[in-house]
């Protein structure tokens, strides 16, 4: 009895993806140097793959889905032809480390991934597509492998990437025939004639797709063409007859196996329910915030990300009524959410609107500039009252803007961005809307009534007021949710005793800024500009012609084609010309152009730093950096506009930049204070190694004493080279340095570096035991902790991806030490700030850069300030290797160096 396939239901749409094909395409489409986590994990392939996956799920709305992957074992095609795919370039390490990440993305999205030993991904796809057609399902195949075109028919369409990872060609039967001149069922025969270089399948020399298509159309198929091969005239015919064996072999190898034994059938590939928290955790670790937003915005999961918005009633207050409203709705018994709009930065700001809302009750929204005197007085008193609890999102900016209006913000018991940073230190950004979705499962919008209409109608100004009130309500509710999360994570004390109080201290430093000498900067810019030009001319003279030193392509051409220098590491755009590669090449070859290129880059970078500083000075001649409290997962502060940590201090020119930062008018000098060897003291404290503690207690040079232990020599026989080796070891261990990393740093063989580490651990066994224990404990707990309980979560410690696991192990080694140093300098800054206010000094703290604090000293206060700073910094935390503070004073930041 004849049977017919069931009519495909419009909802039965199977999407099949060729995993390796698409991942490889993404890897080469997106520059690896532009896509990596802050920890150094490359993510270009997984980003591009995930982006393509989200787009196609959004556009095609499949009901069933699977991803097929190749395996490393030989396939049946290798048995037929041992040279199959031979000669392919080695898989880049940066790509290999991302395959397991793609697997994790698919697992989090509950998308089945299939692979079968002895078969390729396109065989699995062919089998599923065939089965789906029998079941009456429509099939879409997303792949960059043209072999899939042979599967195209009325039920199967191939989506073929045309450009990068964003543009797909829809290859149905008509499109295949238009492109190649033959119908899909003849494509395999066309490919057999033409060959496929990527698979190492040679075709007929001199025969391209047009000629092959003409033959197949004329004779109907390859079998008939072979039967009439003697009729083909000219050189093409001779070539076909000479290579007929290759053509027949290609035809056999190109055939996709449609009967692979699989554990799952198309009906079992239905889209599954996503694990929202698993997606959040994974996308946090990959730092894919934008992709996560696109995923939830464009693709329907089994569960909605947000079920509702926020129900807020915004009251319209009469002039003079704000004080009464605050007493009734923002009392000391309940925390009030504060939301503001405006702009801030460089030590100041402006607020254009403010909204206040508790978790329950009405909200109010207003422009502070339009308040009458009584209302402004009531607002100022409420804002400044430390007993009226407030929650703000990313409070430092609003604090600066309020200060510009003469208003003080106190009583902040929650900064929801800062709290989220402590809970999720691996995340890059802490957007309020994202956090509301994650913690409250609500969208940052006003709730709708039963009819689907917004609760209020109004003008654009009223809508903006309601939107701001929604943010205030969200902050109030989110603060409670984050409080509970931080309590669970043991971070409540860290928030309330360190991070929250630090917000005001950082805001005060940003408002103060630091004075600069504009003339010095202008002269330095001119001097560096002259050096840039000089190095450019010397480089041109060394080559014998002009070229653009800032163009990697032109530098590659000069070095590797014209000068024929040994080639460096291969990249997508040629051979790398980064500073590390050129420095190594200079050491080996000594060609002067390399020295000039490196020097040109150095002075050009310094000039760009100087030129960026010049317009940043305000009318008072002061530069106001912005301190970032929520960037580094270790807890360290960073700064932007300008980035003061980016100013080099080991070169003469870098020190000249520091000379531009000077004491301001009305003050006597600058004072700098920093910790001596704080990371090493923390390592000695945490490890409890008696020999290391003894080295600190000796009062002699620490690196000399530790080198004396390791090499078995008296301290006076430790020369500069031996000291340098142990110094690198001491700091390297504190930063999770491997034997290979140490070998690179010291320019010695890895085996020699490994031997040096073994000698070190023989003398400092406590350090070895500590380093082993900290990784083991972190693997068990899932996180590391600093001395103040700051956690860094490291799920990759148990990853089956070796590169990611080793990276996580290095983080586990250095996070407690670096993080503890960050905690201590923050506590020191808080203690110094408190003492300055308690003792009524006019001197003020201006900067924190790494482990250094910079002060502007008022006339007659130097000795008092030095005693105060030394006392408070040394007492910030009791270490078994006591904290030691170094100080310096001078007119400029450089003069105050020590």
Q: How far is CA 598 from the centre of its chain?
A: 28
In angstroms, the CA 898 to CA 889 distance is 8
In angstroms, the CA 678 to CA 883 distance is 7
Residue appearing with tokens 């009583």: 411
Angstrom CA distances, 487 to 178, 483, 636, 795, stand at 64, 6, 22, 20
Mean pLDDT along residues 289-298: 78
Q: Which of 606, 731, 714, 582 is nearest to 660 (CA)?
A: 606
Mean pLDDT along residues 818-847: 97
Q: Count other C-beta atoms under 10 Å from residue 634's C-beta.
A: 21
Q: Count other C-beta atoms under 10 Å from residue 83's C-beta.
A: 11
Q: pLDDT category, 559, cuts 50, 70, 90?
A: very high
Q: pLDDT category, 527, cuts 50, 70, 90?
A: very high
Angstrom CA distances, 51 to 35, 165, 304, 747, stand at 13, 8, 20, 41
Q: What tokens were used for 565?
A: 């220098």
In angstroms, the CA 99 to CA 76 distance is 24
Mean pLDDT along residues 61-85: 77
In angstroms, the CA 223 to CA 636 distance is 71
117-155: per-residue pLDDT in tens? 888 889 999 999 999 999 999 999 999 888 899 899 999
319-355: per-residue pLDDT in tens? 999 999 999 999 888 899 999 999 999 999 999 999 9
User: For residue 344, what are the contacts with CB-CB under 8 A and spacing of at least 6?
Assistant: 350, 397, 398, 400, 401
pLDDT, residue 162, reads 82
pLDDT, residue 688, reads 94
In angstroms, the CA 63 to CA 557 distance is 51
Is residue 395 scored above 70 in pLDDT?
A: yes
pLDDT, residue 454, reads 38
For the question of whether the overall pTM of this predicted structure is more than 0.85, the answer is no
Most confident region among 109-113, 459-463, 751-755 by mean pLDDT: 109-113
pLDDT, residue 484, reads 96
pLDDT, residue 624, reads 97
Q: pLDDT category, 8, cuts 50, 70, 90?
A: very low
DSSP-assigned letter for residue 317: P
In angstroms, the CA 105 to CA 160 distance is 22
Most confident region among 17-26, 147-156, 516-525 by mean pLDDT: 516-525
pLDDT, residue 87, reads 56
Is residue 7 scored above 70 in pLDDT?
A: no
Q: What is the dihedral sign for C-alpha 555, 561, 562, 566? A: positive
Strand-pair partners of 623: 514
- For the ranges 17-21, 501-505, 690-694, 735-739, the lowest mean pLDDT is seen at 735-739
254-263: per-residue pLDDT in tens? 888 888 899 8
Q: What tokens were used for 428?
A: 């890059």
In angstroms, the CA 148 to CA 26 distance is 19
In 3-state terms, the chain is what percent helix, strand and coil (to 5)?
55, 15, 30
Angstrom CA distances, 619 to 623, 627, 651, stand at 10, 21, 30
Q: Which residue has the higher pLDDT, 128 or 90?
A: 128
Domains of the chain: 13-173+257-269 (3.40.50.1010), 308-513 (3.30.420.10), 632-688+768-898 (3.30.70.370), 690-763 (no CATH)
Burial of 545 (0-12, 13-18, 19+ CB in 10 A): exposed
- For the ranges 231-245, 250-264, 514-528, the lowest mean pLDDT is seen at 231-245
In angstroms, the CA 457 to CA 371 distance is 24
Residue appearing with tokens 């409420």: 382
pLDDT, residue 225, reads 80
CB 270 within 8 A of CB 64: yes
DSSP-assigned letter for residue 405: T
What is the overall mean pLDDT for the chain? 88
Mean pLDDT along residues 297-311: 66
CB 679 within 8 A of CB 734: yes
pLDDT, residue 857, reads 98
Is residue 200 scored above 70 in pLDDT?
A: no
- CA trace torsion 613, 614, 618, 619 (10° rounding): 160
Q: Which of 512, 492, 482, 518 is nearest to 627 (CA)?
A: 512
Q: Read off φ and ψ for residue 408, nearest 5 degrees.
A: -105, 130
Q: Which of 109, 102, 111, 157 is nearest to 133 (CA)?
A: 157
| Sheet strands (E) in 383-516 | 390-392, 412-415, 442-446, 514-516
Is residue 771 scored above 50 in pLDDT?
A: yes
Q: Which of 315, 322, 328 is nearest to 374 (CA)?
A: 322
CB 165 within 8 A of CB 46: no
CB 269 within 8 A of CB 66: yes
Q: How many helices (H) and strands (E) are present in the chain, helices listed first? A: 35, 29
651-695: per-residue pLDDT in tens? 888 899 999 999 999 999 999 999 999 999 999 999 999 999 998
Mean pLDDT along residues 206-233: 82
Q: pLDDT category, 74, cuts 50, 70, 90?
A: confident
533-547: per-residue pLDDT in tens? 999 999 999 999 999
Is residue 84 scored above 80 in pLDDT?
A: no
């Amino acid at each position: 009895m004849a049977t017919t396939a069931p009519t495909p239901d419009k909802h039965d749409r199977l999407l099949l993806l060729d995993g390796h094909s698409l991942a490889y395409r993404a890897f080469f489409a997106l520059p690896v140097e532009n896509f990596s986590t802050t920890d150094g994990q490359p993510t270009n392939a997984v980003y591009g793959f995930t982006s393509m996956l989200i787009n196609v799920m959004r556009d095609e709305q499949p009901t069933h889905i699977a991803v097929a992957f190749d395996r490393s074992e030989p396939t049946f095609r290798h048995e037929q032809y041992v040279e199959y795919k031979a000669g392919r370039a080695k898989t880049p390490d940066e790509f290999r480390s991302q395959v397991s990440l793609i697997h994790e993305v698919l697992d989090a999205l509950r998308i089945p991934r299939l692979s079968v030993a002895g078969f390729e991904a396109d065989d699995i796809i062919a089998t599923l597509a065939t089965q789906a057609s029998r079941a009456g399902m429509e099939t879409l195949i997303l792949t960059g492998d043209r072999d899939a075109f042979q599967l195209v028919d009325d039920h199967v369409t191939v989506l073929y990437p045309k450009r990068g990872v964003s543009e797909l060609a829809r290859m149905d039967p008509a499109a295949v025939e238009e492109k190649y001149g033959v119908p899909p069922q003849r494509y395999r025969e066309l490919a057999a004639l033409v060959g496929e270089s990527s698979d190492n399948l040679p075709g007929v020399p001199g025969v391209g797709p047009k000629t092959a298509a003409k033959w197949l159309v004329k004779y109907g198929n390859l079998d008939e063409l072979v039967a009439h091969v003697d009729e083909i005239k000219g050189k093409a015919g001779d070539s076909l007859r000479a290579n007929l064996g290759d053509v027949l072999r290609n035809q056999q190898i190109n055939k996709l196996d449609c009967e692979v034994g699989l554990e799952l059938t198309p009906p079992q590939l239905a889209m599954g329910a996503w694990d929202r928290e698993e997606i959040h955790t994974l996308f946090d670790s990959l730092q894919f915030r934008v992709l996560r937003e696109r995923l939830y915005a464009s693709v329907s999961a089994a569960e909605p990300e947000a079920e509702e918005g926020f129900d807020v009633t915004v009251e319209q207050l009469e002039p003079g009524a704000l004080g009464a409203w605050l007493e009734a709705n923002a009392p000391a018994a309940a925390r009030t959410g504060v939301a503001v709009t405006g702009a801030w930065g460089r030590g100041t700001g402006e607020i254009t609107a403010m909204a206040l809302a508790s978790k329950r009750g009405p909200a109010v929204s207003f422009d502070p500039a339009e308040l009458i005197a009584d209302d402004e007085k009531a607002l100022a008193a409420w804002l400044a009252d430390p007993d009226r609890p407030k929650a703000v999102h990313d409070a430092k900016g609003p604090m600066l803007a309020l200060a510009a209006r003469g208003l003080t913000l106190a009583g902040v018991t929650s900064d929801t961005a800062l709290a989220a940073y402590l809970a999720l230190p691996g995340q890059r950004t802490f957007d309020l809307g994202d956090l509301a979705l994650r913690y409250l499962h609500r969208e940052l919008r006003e709730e709708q009534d039963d009819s689907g209409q917004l609760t209020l109608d109004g003008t654009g100004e009223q809508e903006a007021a309601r939107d701001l009130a929604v943010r205030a309500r969200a902050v109030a509710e989110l603060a409670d949710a984050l409080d509970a999360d931080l309590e669970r994570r043991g971070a409540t004390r860290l928030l309330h005793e360190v991070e929250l109080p630090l917000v005001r201290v950082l805001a005060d430093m940003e408002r103060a800024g630091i004075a600069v000498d504009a003339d010095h900067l202008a002269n330095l810019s001119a001097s560096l500009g002259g050096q840039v030009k000089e190095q450019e001319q010397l480089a041109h003279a060394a080559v014998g012609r002009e070229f653009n030193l800032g163009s990697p392509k032109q530098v590659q051409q000069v070095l590797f084609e014209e000068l024929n220098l040994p080639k460096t590491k291969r990249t997508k755009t040629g051979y790398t010309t980064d500073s590390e590669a050129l420095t190594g090449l200079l050491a080996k070859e000594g060609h002067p152009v390399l020295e000039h290129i490196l020097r040109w880059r150095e002075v050009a970078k310094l000039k760009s730093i100087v030129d960026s500083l010049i317009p940043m000075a305000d009318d008072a001649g002061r530069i106001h950096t912005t301190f970032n409290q929520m960037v580094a997962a270790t807890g360290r502060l960073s700064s932007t506009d300008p980035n003061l940590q980016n100013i080099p201090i080991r070169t003469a020119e870098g020190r000249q930049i520091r000379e531009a930062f000077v004491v301001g008018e009305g003050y006597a000098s600058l004072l700098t204070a920093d910790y001596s060897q704080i990371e090493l003291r923390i390592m000695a404290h945490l490890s409890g190694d008696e020999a290391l503690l003894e080295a600190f207690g000796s009062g002699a040079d620490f690196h000399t004493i530790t080198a004396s232990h390791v090499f078995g020599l008296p301290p006076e026989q430790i020369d500069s080279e031996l000291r340098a080796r142990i110094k690198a070891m001491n700091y390297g261990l504190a930063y999770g340095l491997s034997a290979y990393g140490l070998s690179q740093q010291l320019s010695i063989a890895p085996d020699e570096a490994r031997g040096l580490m073994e000698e070190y651990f023989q003398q400092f066994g406590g350090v070895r035991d500590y380093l082993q224990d900290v990784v083991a404990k972190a693997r068990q707990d899932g996180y590391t902790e600093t001395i103040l309980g700051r956690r860094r979560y490291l799920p990759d410690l148990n990853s089956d991806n070796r590169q990611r696991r080793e990276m996580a192990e290095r983080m586990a080694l250095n996070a407690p030490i670096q993080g503890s140093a960050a905690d201590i300098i923050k506590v020191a800054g808080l203690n110094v700030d408190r003492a300055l206010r308690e003792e009524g000094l006019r001197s003020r703290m201006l900067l924190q850069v790494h482990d250094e604090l910079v002060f502007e000293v008022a006339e007659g206060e130097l000795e008092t300030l030095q005693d105060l700073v030394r006392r408070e910094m040394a007492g910030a935390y009791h270490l078994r290797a006591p904290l030691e503070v170094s100080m310096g004073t001078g007119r400029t930041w450089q003069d105050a160096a020590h």
